[in-house]
């Protein structure tokens, strides 16, 4: 005789994961790895990126080591909600370039039972918190900080030093424009940059 299972099925749980760090620390690579594992598990996955990020490809999200995954470029964070269907997992790359509504958008998705994985720079070129990243990190269930290697001394790098003399917050670039530095080397580089401007 079989006993009837009277246990109620729990609703699907959603949450927010943030992958943060400096440039060249492997944020996008880790985002792609997590999304690929979800695809292998048969989950429905979608990834979004800001429209302004066309460095490697206008559509795909591409890591510095050339791993790629198809994505949907959007102009505003609210556009993500307009393009959500039956997804189990939603990825967001280059989150620092999105508007301040991104944390609310991620909350809406997570509250619908979707696993949300967000990757972005936690600090801008001057070492200040970048865009919506502080709010995302505060609200997320999981935060992973990844590190690059300092291009000057070889220690762990957490800063993205801009090589050229520009004070614009958003300036797309690669190794020719930016280099990862540790705290000591970053402070020295900033001192030299400020001295050169005066």
pLDDT at 57: 59
CB 25 within 8 Å of CB 148? yes
pLDDT block averages, 10 residues each, the chain of length 198: 52 92 94 95 94 67 71 93 91 96 98 97 95 97 98 96 67 69 96 80
Q: Catalytic residue numbers?
A: 94
To the question of domain 15-147 being in CATH 3.40.50.300, the answer is yes
* Interatomic CA distance for residues 112 and 110, integer angstroms: 5
Nearest to 88 by CA among 31, 30, 12, 8: 12
Q: Checking DSSP bridges between strand 159-162 and strand 178-181, what pairing results, if any?
A: antiparallel
Q: Give the number of other Cβ atoms within 10 Å of residue 93's Cβ.
A: 25
pLDDT in tens, 13-50: 999 999 999 999 999 999 999 999 999 999 999 999 99
pLDDT at 69: 79
Q: How far is CA 70 from CA 18, 47, 58, 62, in A?
A: 20, 7, 10, 9
Per-domain residue ranges of the chain: 15-147
pLDDT at 85: 81
């Amino acid at each position: 005789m079989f006993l009837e299972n009277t246990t109620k099925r729990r609703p699907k749980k959603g949450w927010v994961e943030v992958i943060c760090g400096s440039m060249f620390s492997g944020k996008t690579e880790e985002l792609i790895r997590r999304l690929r594992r979800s695809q292998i598990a048969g989950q429905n996955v979608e990834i979004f990126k800001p429209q302004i990020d066309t460095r490697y490809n206008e559509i795909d999200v591409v890591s510095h080591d050339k791993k790629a995954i198809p994505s949907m470029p959007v102009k505003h964070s609210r556009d993500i909600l307009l393009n959500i269907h039956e997804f189990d997992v939603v990825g967001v790359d280059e989150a620092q370039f999105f508007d301040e509504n991104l944390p609310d958008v991620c909350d809406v998705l997570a509250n619908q039972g979707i696993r949300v994985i967000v990757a972005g720079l936690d600090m801008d070129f001057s070492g200040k918190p970048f865009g919506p990243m502080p709010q995302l990190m505060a609200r997320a269930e999981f935060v992973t900080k990844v590190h690059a290697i300092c291009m000057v001394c070889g220690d762990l790098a957490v800063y993205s030093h801009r090589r050229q003399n520009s004070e614009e917050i958003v300036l797309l670039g690669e190794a020719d424009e930016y280099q990862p530095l540790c705290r000591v080397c970053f402070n020295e580089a900033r001192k030299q940059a400020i001295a050169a401007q005066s």
